[in-house]
């Protein structure tokens, strides 16, 4: 039996506890419910818990059940909502219908009635899951959704095999509408280590692709195709600034795929290009972005321009497969792996040299590629090479072991510089966010969306990096900062509680008191009295 997550939301804890005790949750196919005291708390908890079903009261402080339901619908379109209330009013019932709530139940709640409601919702969730994973339906969809000519066109486009002057004609011939004016590529990677039992990985990939096609915002004008075993999206943007919003949409879909398809999905997003003839560069960037899942984790969108804006591979580096592997490891692997890859490359390169002239040409080309890599990653040349010597002349005089040691040392040095630069960029915008909080913590509109717009990054990337650097979510950090300021004001000033609430960014004094008590264990007034 499939097991689903439930959240109960009611400011009357004894009511929620009674409901939890009335039901045999595990026997019915549910996890033991999580409990939230009000809508705001439920909204915060849902981000971490991601419930399949939310059962909520209507009348609650800070955020009522209807507003909570609207917010949950916006964030998690597939969530099932059950509304229960002591108010038998037509307007509430009508709003519940508009919100597509599964049930509208009146208090007091009968145990048999509630069991029937949850049984029906469980069956509905099972049907949705079966539809997504039904082998026959997926096979039919797979055959119907892969028009051969369009697939071949997109594959050739990202592979750089279509001349610029032929793109327009082929778009017309294959009835593909691409108007831009900006384009980017996103690669959808599905982890093969977390495929549901009994599910064919290929069919799971189709299920995820179908979900993306259905749920991706139409404003991006995405074209989907398969290339080298992955689903690829070609998106169209109105401006370069839209990249952050596109990244956030992809991040939301990664979470949705985990919930609906039971798949661990990472979406890598490449650079923005003005011309379709240059879309290959965006594809290469998206491929690199997917590789960064080893650093930033799965089930999220990763934008190459956010995590590593300085990187842009050269054409010659892409053509040298083994050297490309060394370059990638310099950006992503640890020191020992970089050294191993560098030595292997030198050994394989030297084995194929039949004369001293070939050896010298190989060494000159190697130094040239290193110089290009340094420039394209915006590193300082003098931090990598000794500028007081002729590097070309020096390296050509090195013996086999000396060349291997020199190349390893150079690669390790570049690896360290790239890592330092990446860490510096990350710390820079985390520091900016912290400084903004320090200057604007009293702003009632301050939120994660606001700070991401201010910094010009997607909330997906910002949330990941901020928690990694500080150990807290941005909302948690902001709340802690405001509570520290409030505590200080309570002790050092004679201001009323509602004034202090406004001064630390809370428009509702009651909610401020609720958060303060949650943080310190007592209300603001009792805290102040205790300190006095």
* Residue 89 confidence (pLDDT): 67
**Residues in contact with 113: Cβ distance below 8 Å, sequence separation at least 6, in sequence order:** 105
Nearest to 320 by CA among 288, 274, 366, 260: 366
Q: What is the CATH number of domain 6-133?
A: 3.40.50.2300
Give me 449's structure tokens.
């969306």
158-166: list long-range contacts, CB under 8 Å, 24+ apart: 158/185, 158/227, 158/232, 158/279, 158/280, 158/283, 159/280, 160/280, 162/277, 163/277, 164/275, 164/277
Residue 92 or 263, more confident: 263
CB 79 within 8 A of CB 52: yes
Band the pLDDT of 56: cuts 50, 70, 90: very high
Each domain of the chain, given as residue ranges in start order, spans 6-133, 145-307, 316-422, 441-531
pLDDT tens-digit profile of 247-283? Answer: 999 999 999 999 999 999 999 999 999 999 999 999 9
Report the sign of the C-alpha dihedral through residues 27, 30, 31, 34, in that order: negative
* Residue 427 confidence (pLDDT): 67
- Give Cα 149 distance to the centre of its chain: 32
Residue 485 or 148, more confident: 485
pLDDT at residue 529 greater than cutoff 70 = yes
User: What does pLDDT average to over the chain?
Assistant: 87
pLDDT at residue 507 greater than cutoff 70 = yes
Band the pLDDT of 424: cuts 50, 70, 90: low
Band the pLDDT of 500: cuts 50, 70, 90: very high
Q: May I ask the CATH class of domain 441-531?
A: mainly alpha
For residues 91-98, give the mean pLDDT.
74
For residues 213-230, give the mean pLDDT.
93
For residues 20-41, give the mean pLDDT.
93
* Residue 425 confidence (pLDDT): 62
Residue 29 or 358, more confident: 29
Report the sign of the C-alpha dihedral through residues 392, 397, 398, 399, in that order: positive
- 116-130, 237-251, 418-432: the lowest-pLDDT one: 418-432
CB 311 within 8 A of CB 379: no
Give me 512's structure tokens.
């401020």
CA dihedral 23, 258, 37, 111 (to 10 degrees): -20
* Residue 441 confidence (pLDDT): 95
* Residue 264 confidence (pLDDT): 93
pLDDT tens-digit profile of 302-353? Answer: 999 887 654 444 443 343 457 888 888 888 778 898 999 999 998 888 776 6
For 145-307, CATH number out of 3.30.70.270, 3.40.47.10, 3.90.1150.10, 3.20.20.70 equals 3.30.70.270
Band the pLDDT of 145: cuts 50, 70, 90: low
- Give Cα 17 distance to the centre of its chain: 35
pTM, 2 dp: 0.50
Nearest to 301 by CA among 376, 220, 373: 220
pLDDT at residue 464 greater than cutoff 90 = no
- 148-162, 232-246, 268-282, 391-405: the lowest-pLDDT one: 391-405
pLDDT tens-digit profile of 176-205? Answer: 899 889 999 999 999 888 888 888 888 899
* Residue 355 confidence (pLDDT): 66
């Amino acid at each position: 039996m499939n097991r689903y997550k439930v959240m109960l939301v009611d400011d009357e804890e004894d009511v929620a506890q009674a409901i939890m005790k009335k039901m045999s949750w595990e026997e019915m196919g549910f996890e033991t419910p999580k409990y939230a005291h009000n809508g705001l708390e439920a909204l915060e908890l849902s981000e971490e818990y991601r419930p399949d079903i939310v059962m909520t009261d209507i009348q609650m402080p800070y955020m009522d059940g209807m507003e909570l339901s609207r917010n949950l619908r916006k964030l998690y379109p597939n969530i099932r909502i059950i509304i229960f209330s002591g108010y038998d009013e037509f307007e509430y019932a009508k709003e519940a219908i508009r919100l597509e709530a599964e049930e509208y139940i009146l208090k007091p709640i009968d145990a048999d009635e509630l069991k029937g409601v949850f049984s029906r919702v469980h069956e509905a969730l099972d049907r949705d899951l079966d539809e997504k994973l039904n082998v026959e339906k997926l096979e039919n969809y797979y055959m119907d959704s892969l028009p051969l000519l369009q697939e071949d066109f997109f594959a050739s486009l990202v592979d750089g095999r279509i001349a610029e002057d032929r793109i327009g004609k082929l778009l017309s011939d294959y009835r593909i509408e691409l108007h831009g004016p900006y384009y980017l590529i996103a690669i959808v990677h599905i982890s093969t280590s977390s495929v549901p039992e009994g599910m064919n990985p290929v069919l799971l990939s189709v299920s995820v692709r179908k979900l993306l096609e259905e749920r991706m915002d139409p404003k991006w004008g995405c074209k989907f195709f398969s290339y080298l075993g992955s689903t690829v999206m070609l998106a169209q943007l109105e401006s370069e600034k839209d990249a952050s919003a596109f990244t956030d949409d992809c991040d939301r879909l990664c979470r949705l795929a985990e919930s609906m398809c039971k798949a661990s999905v990472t979406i890598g997003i490449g650079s923005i290009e003005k011309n379709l003839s240059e879309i290959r560069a965006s594809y290469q960037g998206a491929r690199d972005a997917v590789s960064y899942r080893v650093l930033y984790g799965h089930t999220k969108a990763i934008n190459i321009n956010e995590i590593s804006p300085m990187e842009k591979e050269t054409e010659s580096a892409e053509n040298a497969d083994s050297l490309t592997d060394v370059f990638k490891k310099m950006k992503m692997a640890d020191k020992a792996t970089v050294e191993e890859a560098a030595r292997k490359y030198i050994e394989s390169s030297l084995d194929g040299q039949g004369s001293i002239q070939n050896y010298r040409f190989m060494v000159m080309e190697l130094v040239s590629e290193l110089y290009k890599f340094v420039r394209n990653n915006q590193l300082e040349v003098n931090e990598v090479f000794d500028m007081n010597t002729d590097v070309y002349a020096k390296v050509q005089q090195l013996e086999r072991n000396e060349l291997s040691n020199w190349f390893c040392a150079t690669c390790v040095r570049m690896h360290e510089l790239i890592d330092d630069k990446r860490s510096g960029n990350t710390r820079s915008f985390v520091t900016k966010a912290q400084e903004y909080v320090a200057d604007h913590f009293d702003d009632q509109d301050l939120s994660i969306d606001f700070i991401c717009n201010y910094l010009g990054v997607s909330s997906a990337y910002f949330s990941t990096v901020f928690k990694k650097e500080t150990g807290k979510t941005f909302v948690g950090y902001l709340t802690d900062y405001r509570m520290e300021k409030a505590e200080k004001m309570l002790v050092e000033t004679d201001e009323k509680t509602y004034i202090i609430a406004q001064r630390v960014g809370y428009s509702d004094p009651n909610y401020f008191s609720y958060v303060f008590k949650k943080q310190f264990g007592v209300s603001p007034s009792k805290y102040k009295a205790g300190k006095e």
